[in-house]
Structure formats: structure tokens, C-alpha cells
Amino acid sequence: MTTLSPPDQQVLTEDDKTKIVVTALLCMFLAALDQTIVTPALPVMGASLGGGEWVSWIVSAYFLTATAVTPLYGKLADLKGRRPVLYAGVGIFVAGSLISAIAPSMAVLIAGRALQGLGGGGLMALVQTIIGDVAPPRERGKYMVYISAVWATSSVAGPVLGGLLAEYVHWSAIFWLNLPLGALAVGLSLKPLSRLPDIRRDHRLDVAGALMIMAATLLFLLPLTLGGHSYPWSSPLILGMLALSAAAFVLFAWYQFQPAEPLLPPRIFGDRVITLTSAASFLAGAGMFGLSVYFPVYLQLIDGFGASAAGLALLGPMIGSVAGSNISARILRKGRRYKRLPMIGSLLSAVALAAVGLFAGNVPFWAIEALAVLTAFGQGTLFPVATVMVQNAADPRDLGTATGAYTFVRSLGAVVAIAVLGAIVGSAGIGDHISEGALDPAAREGAVAAFQALFATAAVAQLISLALLARIEERPLRGRTPPPVED
């Protein structure tokens, strides 16, 4: 049952909507910045804390917990209201940042990042839900431009700031920075978000489902980290964890049909648009996160870049991604033919990733950088459109749940991609050298081959994503007025 308090039944003006969205995005900025600021510092963290083979878990731990709790945040927001859950997410994120900043070992840092994910995972879905509360799908393209602005700021500032702090201050400064930023985001958003409609619905939380998917994913990630390095791929331990992971995923799929309100409601994924869009985004995440996480590592190990230089090199791809998102969002505002650009962008990304895989280690930096920019631009065109397609297809009563479920699947793609691509890179023994900077010629040859396989794998995933995207129905976007007539 949906309830609205009397003041919340007032019609919001356009100025109210803009203020609500912009200030909610201040909270989202925390999670967005944290995804880009960490990657240039990964080798430095490995050098400082040891355990280079576990460096990818600094990213994976965040996405693992963020993925598992994202659908829960959607339902919690329906139960308790958007604002308290949003601020709780900020608080948990800041607590995880504090633990990460003072971490004396790689294990504690990974634990802090996991706690960060418990908070940050909800911020992405909640902001998308808030936008869904204040604007129908046909008007949502306008606010996607604001989201693009947030990603533009975090994408440009994050890699540069992370590299500079890691090289010239200390890697822990990356996490200390989140404390004042979190306080500022909450302080500035208190008044505008008080105008947000207090929408509440009765829900039950599928905590058991969340724990199952976390266990299944963890059992999948561990053998990818340890296999071929600490243990042979054919060892009983590695094969046993993979078998348990498969069994846990099957159990999770069966269990989703049992509770009244499962983590991933089958009725939501019964819609063909939502299912195909989620699957396409799952695979596209392989290219996006493979590039953002492993491109700086490639530059430091293969080309001998420092952390700050690797961060600066990420500027091009990040700006490309933001440009693609911005153009896609503006086309979305017109409400027609909104799928065309993401399809062109996905094809461009697949071709560019394949070229990176072909030429990695054998061409000048500027050539790889140009291909990375093209890859990121193409990937950036998909995600704003994909989110609106899911929200447009979902029943209005399921808006928060559908948004959380879609974000869950997309984030799960990032977790799996980081682990699979990390296993490919780890097969060359790069984890043993990740804290040493540029590799010697003998080690470099094997590393180049591993990075070529990594980017080629991401290209294949991008091509499959394109094939799925082509099969999605381009439904008219809902709105208060009929869509414009095609000329």
C-alpha cells in the first residue's frame, strides 16, 4: 500500500524538481568519485601493504557488497522513505572510508572497502529512484544530463586526484577525503530533499537472498584470484569452490520464487525489455570496468607510468564516457529513436577494445589512449538510456524495486568482469610485480600477452551486449503528454 503525507501531495514545481535532483546527486557524487579515484593508486597500495595478487579485491570487495545490497536499498527506501535511507547510505560509506584510511594491512583495507560498498551501493540506486519519483520517463532525459555532469566531475577529478594523492601525499588521503565530502553532501541536501514526496510502500526485505548471492559471488571470485597463482587450476580446492559457487547460484535462482518479495522479483524480469536491458548492461560492464580498473595498471607496468601520470591518462577515456552519456541523455529528452546511438556506441566500443587487444604493448601511448577514448565514448552512450528503458518498462509501483534490481545486475557484471579479467592478467604472474612499477623485458612480454587477452575478452562481451541491445523493443516513453508525432 502506498502512502503520502498531506504536504507531499502538493505538486512540485520545476524549480523544486531541479533542486531535489541536484542535491541528491551530491550524495551520489561520493560513490561516483570513489570508483575513479582509487584505480590509479592500486599499485601504490599493493606496494605499501603487500599482497599484490589481492589488489583487484580493493575494487572487487566494494562492488561485491554494493551489488548485494542494491535491491535491499530500493525496498528500504519504499519502507522507510527515501531521505533517511539515503543518509544512512552516506553514513555507512563514510565509516568504510575511515576504516580504509587507517588500514594497516591489505585485509583491513579490503574489509573497509566492503563496508564502503554497503553504503555506496545504495546511493546509485536511490538517486535514480528519486529522479523516478519527481519526473515521468519522457522528462527524465533532462535529469540524466545532471547525472552526466556528476560523472563528468568525478571522472575528470577522480583519476588525477587519486594519482596525485597516492604519489605525492599518501594513498590513505584518498579515503580521508570522503569524510568532509560526506558531511558537505548531507548538509547541503537537507533542505531541498525535505520537499521530496514521502512515498512509502509495504515491503519485506529478502535478506536471505542477499546473503545467498554474496556467498555465490564470493565463492566464484576466490578461485579466480587464487587459481593459477597460489593453487593450480585443477586443484581440489579451486574446483570445489567453483562447484559450490555454481550450486549457490542455482539455489539462489530457485529461492527467488519462494518468498513473497524476493531480492530479484521474477515478475520484474518477466518483462522482456527489463531482462534484455539488464543482460546487455551486465556484459557492457566488462568493457567499462576492464578499461577503468586495468588501464592504469597497464600503463604503470607496461609503459612505466607513475601513479599520477596514469591518473592523468584516464582523463581522456573518462571525458569520452561523459561525452557519450551527455549526448545520449540529450537525445533521450526528445523521446524517440533513443536506442540508435547506444547501438552505434556499443559497436564502436567493441571495435576499439579489439584494437586495444591487438596493439597493446606494441604501439605508442597516444594510439592506445585514442582507442581508450573511443571505447569509453561508446560505452557512455548506453547506461543513461538503459536506466530509463528499465524504469519506463516497470510498473510504477515497482519503480524502486526495478531500479534496484537493474542496478544489481549491472553491478554484478562489474564484479564478475573485474574477477575474470583479473584472472586473465594474473595468469602472467603480474600480481608478483604489481608493486614494482615497470616490468623487466622478460616479464613484460608475458604481461603484454595477458593484457591483450584481457581487452580481447572485453571486446567479445561488448559484441554480445550489442546483439542483446538490438533485440530490445523501443517502447514510447511514458509522460504526461503524448509523445511527439514522427515527421
Angle between helices 106-134 and 383-393 (to 10 degrees): 60
DSSP state of 81: -
Q: Which three cell numbers stand for residue 329?
A: 541523455
**Residue ranges of the domains in the chain?**
11-190+202-206+259-470, 207-256
* Per-residue pLDDT in tens (0 to 9) along the chain, 487 residues: 444 443 444 566 777 777 788 778 888 888 878 877 887 788 788 878 876 667 778 877 887 787 777 777 777 777 777 788 888 889 999 999 999 999 998 889 999 998 998 888 778 778 777 877 777 666 666 676 677 677 667 766 777 888 888 888 889 999 999 999 888 888 887 777 777 766 666 667 778 887 887 788 778 877 876 776 667 878 888 899 889 989 998 998 899 888 877 877 788 888 889 999 989 988 887 777 777 777 877 887 788 787 778 778 877 887 888 788 888 877 777 767 788 888 999 999 999 999 988 888 888 888 989 998 999 899 888 878 888 888 888 877 777 677 777 877 887 787 777 777 777 776 655 555 554 455 566 677 777 888 888 888 889 999 999 999 999 988 887 754 334 334 3
Contact yes or no for 398/74 (Cβ under 8 A)? no
Give just the sign of the alpha carbon dihedral 351, 353, 358, 360: positive
User: Is the CB of residue 218 less than 8 Å from the CB of residue 67?
Assistant: no
Number of Cβ within 10 Å of residue 260's Cβ equals: 8
Query: What is the spatial distance between Cα 105 and Cα 6, in angstroms, rounded to a whole number?
Result: 52
In 3D space, the residue among 145, 149, 150, 121 whose CA is nearest the CA of residue 135 turns out to be: 145
414 Cα distance to chain centroid: 6
What's the CA gap between 24 and 77, in Å, rounded?
14
Cα–Cα distance for residue pair 434/428, rounded to 1 Å: 11
How far does Cα 166 stand from its chain's mean position?
22
Domain 11-190+202-206+259-470 - what CATH class? mainly alpha
Q: Which helix (H) or strand (E) holds 200?
A: strand 200-201
Cα separation, 442 vs 444, in Å, equals 5
Cα 472 from chain centroid? Answer: 22
Q: Which three cell numbers stand for residue 450?
A: 595477458
With 0-12 CB in 10 A as exposed, 13-18 as middle and 19+ as buried, what is 20? buried
